[in-house]
Structure formats: C-alpha cells, structure tokens
Chain A
Amino acid sequence: MDITWGASASHEIAWGGMIAVYLFLAGIAAGAFLTAALTDLFGKNRPAKLIRAGAYIPPIAIVVGLLLLVFDLGRPLSFWKLIFNVNFSSVMSLGTFIISIFTAVALVYAYLIWAWPVAQARGIQITVAGVEAAAAREVPASGLQALRKPVAVVGSLLAFGTATYTGFLLSAVSTNTFWSVPFLGISGVPFLPFLFLVSAISTGLAATLIGAIDCSDLTLYKKVDIVLLAIEILLLIILYTSVSSAFFQGGLANLFWIGVVVIGLLLPLILAIYGVSKHKNLVVPVCGMVVVGGLALRYFVVYAGQMVR
C-alpha cells in the first residue's frame, strides 16, 4: 500500500523465467555436448547410443533456449543487431558469438553423428577392414566424417565456453552483489561460472544418460555424476557462506532448499550412491531430479540476484 501518492519506488525483475530456462538449456546443451564429444574423443568402448544422445540434445536445447531468449527481448525482431554491434566490454556481446558458433558447431556435430552409421554402412560395403578400423577408431574416417574429431574438439571448447559464459553473464554485473560474488573471496575470480559449469556438466550428463537409458555399462558416467553432485554441494556451501543470508529467505528459500538442495542434489546423490551398486533402473529418477535441480538452480540464482538488492 502506497502511503502517500506518486509512483512508489520499485525494484523490477528484469530477467525472469525465460532467462532462467535459457541459462539452464544452454547449460544442458554444453554439458551434453561435452559428454558426447569427450566420449567420442577418449572413450575406449564408445557406447554409440550415448554419443548420439549427447550429440542430439545440444542443438535442440540451445535452439529452444535461444528462441526463448529472443522472445524475451523487448524487440525480438532486432535480435540480429546483437551480431552486428559488438561491445568488447560486454560479456553478453562476446557470449553471443560463443553461443552462436557453439550452436552451429553443435548442429554440425549432431549431423556428423547422425551420418556416422551411414558412413560406417558405406564402409562395410567397401572393405571389411575399413569397418573394423572405423569401429576401433584406428583408421581415419573418410569424407566428412574426417571432420568429426576436430569438430568434437572445437565444440568441446565452445561448450566449455558456453557453460561458463552463462555464469559470466551474471557475474559480470558488478553492481549485483549476489551474481558477482567472488570465488572464496578472491577478487577478480567470480564464483558463478564455476557453479554453472559444474551444474551444466552435471545436468547435461544427466540428460544424456536419460537418452542413453538402455546402454549397458554406464557405471563410469554414474560415478562422474556422483562426483559432480558432490562438487556442486561443496560449491553451494561456499556460496551460502559468501553472501548475505537475505538471499535465502522468503519465497526464494523454498526454491533453494527444496528445489536445488533436496531435489537437485541430496536425493539424487543418495539414490545414485545406492543405485550405482544395486539398481540400474534408478537412472531416470536420479537424472531427472538432477535436471530439475539444475533448472531450480538457475531460477534461484536469476531471481535471488534481482529480488534482494
């Protein structure tokens, strides 16, 4: 209730749910890409299904995310101006390029992965040795497939850039004490890029695992997931101790404690530790919760930074 008259002072929330989802999707895209590409590059017995899941998720996620971003613009039809007007001091301006190139690379990579079995099939027809070689990744693939590895390398770098960018985007707002909180108090080292990177890999991996549900041996991935969850918990403890407790109060408290901590971290962690040794069919619930938790985390960070100023 306004006590006298006039327009009352207001704190508008500039970035809402669309941006939170966008940051989340960009993270998933990056995480899934890293999962697929690193497997592709270093995996011994590459579970093709997992690579495929990890390669298909990024373009879909990032394109949906970018569409949300564009819709959220005050002037959606002018989005292209982001590309033609560059401001080197603006994280968003730089991020635009990272994300745009990442999107393109992710599309190419997805295409290559899609085309891979076709190439392999063609290979069978040519020589038996060729097929074996392709499967064992000993013989360089021919034609376009020759690009797959380099694309995976470049894409991984861009994925890494995208994941951390989502953190830098917020942490660069130096007037926002929450978003720009430094890592362990070290000035100049922002905290959010670490958090968002870990969360991106964790959610991307989780999403990929859901896509690769019927693969046989995913133990390694599940172990990685456990490690990532543990790191994230550690990071949130650091965050909690670095900023004012005001950010964890009111409506945001539920989002944080239930959404991020319980659903996103503790439950999956417990279930994952339990499930690694026993149950295979815990993948969907565990990974599902990780993904939901990742979304909750973006919502929380985006809103907390703007609600309390």
Chain B
Amino acid sequence: MKRRDFLKGALYGTGGTMIAFGGFGTLTKLDPKKAAAAEQDALSTVFSTCEMCTSRCTVALKVKNGKVVKAEGHPNDASTGGSICARGNAAPSLLYDPERIKKPMLRTGERGDGKFKEVSWEEAYSYIAEKLKNVQKQYGGEALAVTSRVNPNDIFFRSIARAMGSPNMFSHEATCPMTRTVALEATFGNPYIGADYGNAKYIITNGRNFFEGIHVPMVKGVMKSISNGGKLVVLDPRFSVTAAKGEWVPIKGATDLAFIMAMANVMISENLYDKEFIAQYSVGFDKWVEAVKDKTPAWAEQETGIPKDKIVQITRDFAKAKPNCLLEYGWRTPWTGNDYQLRRAIMIVNMMMGNWEVPGGYFRKKGAALLKPYPELQQYAKSLGGGMVQPAFPKPAKGRIDGTGIKGTPGQVIPVPDGAVGQIPESILTGKPYPIKAWMVYRFNPVISMPESERVIEAIKKLDLMVTCDVYMTDAAYYSDVVLPECTYMERYDPMIDNTGLTPKFQIRQPAVPVVYPDTKPAWQIFKELGEKMGYGQYFPFKDMEEYLTKQLAAAGLTLAEMKEKGFWVPPGMKPFFMRGKDPKAPAPTASADQKIQIFSEELEEATKQGIPEYKHYPQPENGKFRFIQGKVAVHTNAGTHNVPVLNELMPTNTLWINSVSAGKLGIKEGDSIIISAGKYEHKGIAKVTEGIRPDTVFTYHGFGRISPKMTRAYGKGINDNKLIPNELGEVGNVVSSTTFVTVRKA
C-alpha cells in the first residue's frame, strides 16, 4: 500500500509525465557541480502500451538523456499490478538494436538471395504504387491480399486494399484463436467475452498455457485463484510450466473434445449442472443431451487416454465449484480441423455450470454500450469515437478467395475481419478461385507463423509484388520486393487501444523518444503516404495521429493531454461489473438483450451442418511416429523477438522434447543431434529427453529456426516447426497445428 501511495505521489504529484527519478547516489554525497549534472540525468516517465506482444499491457517507459533505459509496468494498473513480463522488460534492447531495418529497402537480386538497396520513402512508395496499379489493371483489385496481425493501425493498412477494390483482407487470427471466435459468435452472438480467473475456484484448461503464453493480467488472475486454494487442472500432452502449477493430465493430442463431451455426459447423468440457468438463458440444450448421450467416460478414456475415473472425478469436483469454475476456452486454439466444435463444447459445458456474468465466471466485456441499460453505470463511460470519417470504398468485383461470408458454407461463419489466411498461398499457387498477385504483410511473418514455410516461400516467389512492413528484416521481408521499416512502439503514436474487460479501459500509445533511426516511420503514416501516392488521399482524412486521437477521445469525453499524462483510463470509481453478480435472475445479454445462449446454433447448422458439436476422431500416431505439437515460451513472442539481443541471450534456440522411453528406443540421448521428418520435409534439431511429455508426442517451442540471415542472432538456430506442418485448412478456415505426425532419428 505504502509503495503505491509513494509512487502515486511521485508520478502524479507534479502534474506532469516528466518526473524526476534520480538514478544516482544521495545528493549530500555529491558536490554541487555533480548535482547539477545529475539533475539532467534524472529519469522521466512516459506511460504507454507495450507491443512486445499483443497482450498490450500498460507500461511506464523510463527515459534518461533522451534514451529509453528501462520499461516497467504501469504502477497504477490494477490488472497487471505494475508487472510486465521478460519481453516487455526487454523493450530498450529492441529499440536500440542495430539489426532493426533502418531504411526502406528495394530488392535488387532474385527473391531470396538477400540483395537489397536502400531507397527513399518516395522511391519505395512509387515502386509499390506502380506495381499495384499494374496488378489492378491486369488482374483486378482483388488480386491484392493484405495480412496483418490484428492491431490499431489495421484501418489504414486495409484502406489501401479497400480503395483498390480488394475484399482480401486477413488477420493472423486463423493461426491463433479464430476457432474460439467462431464458437463465441455462434454461441453468444459476439466474441467479446472474457473470464474472471481471479475469483474462480476451479480452472480446467485444454492446452491454454497461462504461464508461458503470457498475458500479465491473466497470469495474475490464475495465480490469485490458485493462491487462494483454487484448483488448476491442465490437460496438455506435455508438461508445461502451467502443468507444473496444477494437476497435469497428459491427454492425447487432438482428442480434447472427447474429454469435454464426457464431462457433459457425466454432468447430465449425475445431475450436476445448473438446470435453471440453462432453462432461463439458453436454447437447444436437448440436442446437446442427445449428442453426448453415448459419450461416456469409458468411451472418452479410449480416445483421450485419461482414465474414466479421473474424468468422472474431475467433472464432479469441477461441478461442485459452480458457478465459480472455468473451463478455459483457449487462446491459441487450432488443435484440429474441427477445433471450433471443441471451443463450442467448452462454452456449452461452461454454461451448464451457470458461470455466466458472475464473479469467477465468463462475462461480456463491459464496453460503454453495455452499460447503457444500467442507470447507475451509464454515467461512467462513453465509447471512443472514430478518428476520421472515410468516404465509401468501391465495392469489390469478386468475393473473397477463402469463401468468407458465403452463406450455407463454412465461409458463412469465418469472421469477416480475419478470414482464412492459409488460403493465400493456395490461391497464389493454384490460381483458385482466382490468383493473388500482390501480397502486403504488415506486423506479420507468414513464413514462420503459417504452416508449411517452404510452400509459403514458393508462393511468395510467384507474386508480382510482395511488400513487408516490419521492424526487422524478417523471413518474409527477406523474400519481399519492398521492405518498409516501421519505427517501434516506443517511438510512435497509434490509434487508441481498447482493453476493456470488466470495466471499460482505454490505453494510449505515445512516443517515449523521437525515432532512433530517422528513416523509420509509424505505420499510420506509412500507409497514409502510400495511399496518397496512389491517389487514395481521401481515405486518410486526418493530419496526424494527435489530431486523430483527439477526435477518438473527444467522443469519450477525454483529452489527449489527460491520456498522455495517465497512460490509461478506466472509469474512476467504477467497480468490476457482472450482470448477474447481484441478481442471478438478471437478464444477461449475449448479442442483444433478448438473445439466448445458442447451445444449438442455427447459424452453424446452416454453415457447417453441425448446429451441435459432433465428435470427430483424428488418427493417433502409429508406432514409430509422434504427434508434433508446439507452444509459447515465456521469453519470446511468437515469431517476433528471437533476434532481440537480450531475449536471444536468454534463449537463442529451441529443442525437440521427446519422452525418455521413446528416446531410449531410438538410441537418442539428451543433447543429441536429430532429424525430424514429416515425410515431405525434414528438419535438424537437438533432442531434449524428458519425462515431461507423452511417449507418443514430441514438442518444440515455436518461432525458432529462422530463415532470414539478416537476423544474425536468430538465423538458423533451432527448429522451425512450421517447416514440418502441412498447410491444412480446418473446417472454418483455421490452420491446423496438432495433427501432424513426424518420425525422429539420430542425425
């Protein structure tokens, strides 16, 4: 408490963001000359938002003599408790990394031989504009695909595609939680659903790896739950850090849906679920009863390898904790082709616990709009506005390559903003349904992040134009024609970041220092200038980001100055809000106030003929083969940080985890060089022989084995998992990451 008060005083007391924090000895020890010099050395604090990963925690960047010397958590943010993770802490190492791209680059050699020349922004824009116009003329605007990792600048990036008449806009989500999004939309009519981990008494997770796939507020929540005596059950084929903090249940990969259905089976047969809740809030439960009728624990034991008694016991204990229990809905989710049904089933079982809109349960994220019906709450917040008003875009001449939006097909439920990014290399290579000729990627690395790296590269090589906007000369950039250097998040403004949870929460991103490399620019400016070059200036009706932010904030009754000073905004005095927190009968809207929770989903019935989850058996590895799975590691982000000096130092490479008994049979010892083979593709690696994995499974941390020699620290180190995984599209367009089998031998 004292510390918080102290900091509050120090940070806010002077009413500005530039607050002296001496980093030197007591003044009494210094002579006056030194003291004066020390004064200038004082630290100032700039509040902003981290982008070392897209959890986007609030941060306090410490600046000394015009340099960011340290990143810290925002001391007043209750959700993080002032913590940031290793990657967030590594911020200055990224900012000052001499291996960042510093100037726009134009390819001079063949694609992939790494020859580039530095060009001016003007030249880069002209080159791209000309190529795009040619593509548009020859093939139509839809021959351009754009892909970015979901972020606040997407609106500008996508405006280029929209203005050209392309519908082919993709996020990274098909590689990440898209199946969950599909399930949430089908079940609740909207995907903005969060979980109150901190107050849960029992958490079961099917592969969500809280303590390595880090989101600081979630770590805090789950840790609070287990510290308070809550139970954590971790179903994962390998022994993750998360598993080490709970009860590890080493489930067979790709069988999670069997476990969930068996849970439902037990709940129904033993009357463990909340009948009133189901009756009041949901529709279609009878079809679910029917669907899980034969999904007995004994059956699930065959599928999952988890003893039936264990399944029954977990289910009973879990149900005892209702409604303060969470069956985790996952984050990186695409275990199988029909993973969306796993996510659906998970949410259905959750609803059987009535853990909706109560502490320790799931809830709708409380944006200002949701507060409107509550007179005592509506005064707390207003929504952010748009920063600009864009004129209408031309209507695309053709539908999307991935079928998104086509009724009566799975495309009907693919979230429109995301799309099925795995379709891009297919369309480039096969020309179906029509060819993609230009691809622009921004803050996304398809070569490492999408399955089948070599196929992605092969596709890129066929393009008329490939553009990458990144902070590093990534593997995708390496094969591009033009590489556009963005400045880092510490050097720029971005549009407002909405991190709303149980209360509204708005965060600012603002520059802590001027750009370190003068020829780098923020993404909004890059795409605005490129747009202007292409004659699309009307779609970028704003001068700069300050103006843009001011407009966004005005709608919410906030000012830029205030946001800059505080870093983030939550409605002062507003407590976390659960609609059924006080009254378990209170209406708890899904999409709209009167819509019920869709246990049977009409929409999915229409799109995939599976209105209720159906179990699909995926093959298990035959003798001598292993299921190949991957996961996050605490000190790296996806495919993003492996070249950041400090983080590279902590973990320069990965290994292939293999069970000691399986390794013994193959004569493989700890540290041995091995070859992993997925048939078509092979990869060298180093073995980590461990007790912490199923004997039929091998595992590696994702994001290593980098292909671009221009990231010298990460280049060639470790295993690139996606070299081995085929580019298989799941039923709703998701990638599929846990159904690949490999063999392993000594190198």
Is there direct touching of A and B in the complex, by C-beta distance under 8 Å? yes
Residues of A within 8 A of B (CB): 1-7
Interface residue tally for chain B (C-beta within 8 Å): 13
Rounded to whole angstroms, the CA-CA distance of A4 and B634 in the bound complex is 10
Rounded to whole angstroms, the CA-CA distance of A161 and B100 in the bound complex is 59
Q: Which residues of chain A are near B650, meaning CB under 8 Å?
A: 5-7
Q: Which of B633, B635, B649, B690 contacts A3 (CB 8 A)?
A: B690
Q: From A7, which residue of chain B is reached at the shortest CB distance?
A: B650
| A5 and B634 form a contact (CB under 8 A) | yes
Q: Which of B635, B649, B655, B701 contacts A1 (CB 8 A)?
A: B655
17 CB-based A-B contacts, threshold 8 Å: A1-B655, A1-B670, A1-B686, A2-B651, A3-B655, A3-B688, A3-B690, A4-B633, A5-B633, A5-B634, A5-B635, A5-B650, A5-B651, A6-B650, A6-B651, A7-B649, A7-B650
> Is B671 in contact with chain A by the CB < 8 A criterion?
yes
CB distance from A129 to the nearest CB of B (A): 70
| B634 and A1 form a contact (CB under 8 A) | no
| A1 and B633 form a contact (CB under 8 A) | no
Rounded to whole angstroms, the CA-CA distance of A5 and B651 in the bound complex is 5
Besides A1-B686, A5-B633, A7-B649, 11 more A-B contacts (Cβ < 8 Å) are: A1-B655, A1-B671, A1-B688, A3-B688, A3-B690, A4-B633, A5-B634, A6-B635, A6-B650, A6-B651, A7-B650
Q: Which residues of chain A are near B634, meaning CB under 8 Å?
A: 5
Q: Which residues of chain A are near B688, meaning CB under 8 Å?
A: 1, 3
Q: Which residues of chain B are near A7, meaning CB under 8 Å?
A: 649-650
Rounded to whole angstroms, the CA-CA distance of A1 and B670 in the bound complex is 8
Q: Which residues of chain B are near A5, meaning CB under 8 Å?
A: 633-635, 650-651, 701
CB distance from A224 to the nearest CB of B (A): 53
Interface flags for B634-652 (1: CB within 8 Å of A; 0: not) read 1100000000000001110
Rounded to whole angstroms, the CA-CA distance of A4 and B633 in the bound complex is 9
Q: From B688, which residue of chain A is reached at the shortest CB distance?
A: A3
Question: How many Cβ-Cβ contacts under 8 Å join chain A to chain B?
Answer: 21
CB distance from A68 to the nearest CB of B (A): 32
Rounded to whole angstroms, the CA-CA distance of A7 and B648 in the bound complex is 11
Rounded to whole angstroms, the CA-CA distance of A118 and B635 in the bound complex is 74
Rounded to whole angstroms, the CA-CA distance of A27 and B688 in the bound complex is 48
Q: From A2, which residue of chain B is reached at the shortest CB distance?
A: B651
Q: From A5, which residue of chain B is reached at the shortest CB distance?
A: B651
Interface flags for B645-667 (1: CB within 8 Å of A; 0: not) read 00001110001000000000000
Q: Which residues of chain B are near A4, meaning CB under 8 Å?
A: 633
Q: Which residues of chain B are near A1, meaning CB under 8 Å?
A: 655, 670-671, 686, 688
Q: Which residues of chain B are near A2, meaning CB under 8 Å?
A: 651
CB distance from A51 to the nearest CB of B (A): 55
CB distance from A2 to the nearest CB of B (A): 8
Q: From A6, which residue of chain B is reached at the shortest CB distance?
A: B650
CB distance from A8 to the nearest CB of B (A): 10
Q: From B701, which residue of chain A is reached at the shortest CB distance?
A: A5
Rounded to whole angstroms, the CA-CA distance of A3 and B633 in the bound complex is 12
Rounded to whole angstroms, the CA-CA distance of A1 and B687 in the bound complex is 9
Interface flags for B686-716 (1: CB within 8 Å of A; 0: not) read 1010100000000001000000000000000
Interface flags for B666-684 (1: CB within 8 Å of A; 0: not) read 0000110000000000000
Rounded to whole angstroms, the CA-CA distance of A7 and B633 in the bound complex is 14
CB distance from A16 to the nearest CB of B (A): 24
CB distance from B214 to the nearest CB of A (A): 13
Rounded to whole angstroms, the CA-CA distance of A298 and B379 in the bound complex is 79
Q: Which residues of chain A are near B670, meaning CB under 8 Å?
A: 1
Q: Which residues of chain B are near A6, meaning CB under 8 Å?
A: 635, 650-651
Q: From B672, which residue of chain A is reached at the shortest CB distance?
A: A1
CB distance from B459 to the nearest CB of A (A): 33
CB distance from B9 to the nearest CB of A (A): 35
Q: Which residues of chain B are near A3, meaning CB under 8 Å?
A: 655, 688, 690
Q: Which residues of chain A are near B671, meaning CB under 8 Å?
A: 1
Rounded to whole angstroms, the CA-CA distance of A3 and B690 in the bound complex is 9
Rounded to whole angstroms, the CA-CA distance of A7 and B655 in the bound complex is 16
Rounded to whole angstroms, the CA-CA distance of A4 and B688 in the bound complex is 9
Rounded to whole angstroms, the CA-CA distance of A191 and B86 in the bound complex is 47
Rounded to whole angstroms, the CA-CA distance of A5 and B633 in the bound complex is 8
Q: In B596-645, which residues have CB < 8 Å from any A CB? A: 633-635
CB distance from B686 to the nearest CB of A (A): 7
Rounded to whole angstroms, the CA-CA distance of A77 and B690 in the bound complex is 49
Rounded to whole angstroms, the CA-CA distance of A2 and B655 in the bound complex is 9
Rounded to whole angstroms, the CA-CA distance of A6 and B649 in the bound complex is 8
Rounded to whole angstroms, the CA-CA distance of A1 and B634 in the bound complex is 18
Rounded to whole angstroms, the CA-CA distance of A5 and B652 in the bound complex is 9
CB distance from A155 to the nearest CB of B (A): 44
Interface flags for B402-440 (1: CB within 8 Å of A; 0: not) read 000000000000000000000000000000000000000
Among B651, B690, B701, chain A packs the most CB atoms within 10 A around the CB of B651
Among A4, A6, A7, chain B packs the most CB atoms within 10 A around the CB of A4
Rounded to whole angstroms, the CA-CA distance of A4 and B636 in the bound complex is 12
Q: Which residues of chain A are near B686, meaning CB under 8 Å?
A: 1
Rounded to whole angstroms, the CA-CA distance of A1 and B651 in the bound complex is 11
Rounded to whole angstroms, the CA-CA distance of A187 and B123 in the bound complex is 81
Rounded to whole angstroms, the CA-CA distance of A3 and B651 in the bound complex is 10
Q: In B573-608, which residues have CB < 8 Å from any A CB? A: none
CB distance from B249 to the nearest CB of A (A): 21
Rounded to whole angstroms, the CA-CA distance of A2 and B671 in the bound complex is 9
Rounded to whole angstroms, the CA-CA distance of A1 and B652 in the bound complex is 12
Rounded to whole angstroms, the CA-CA distance of A215 and B722 in the bound complex is 79
CB distance from A5 to the nearest CB of B (A): 4
Among A3, A5, A6, A7, chain B packs the most CB atoms within 10 A around the CB of A5
Q: Which residues of chain A are near B690, meaning CB under 8 Å?
A: 3
Q: In B60-90, which residues have CB < 8 Å from any A CB? A: none
CB distance from B746 to the nearest CB of A (A): 15
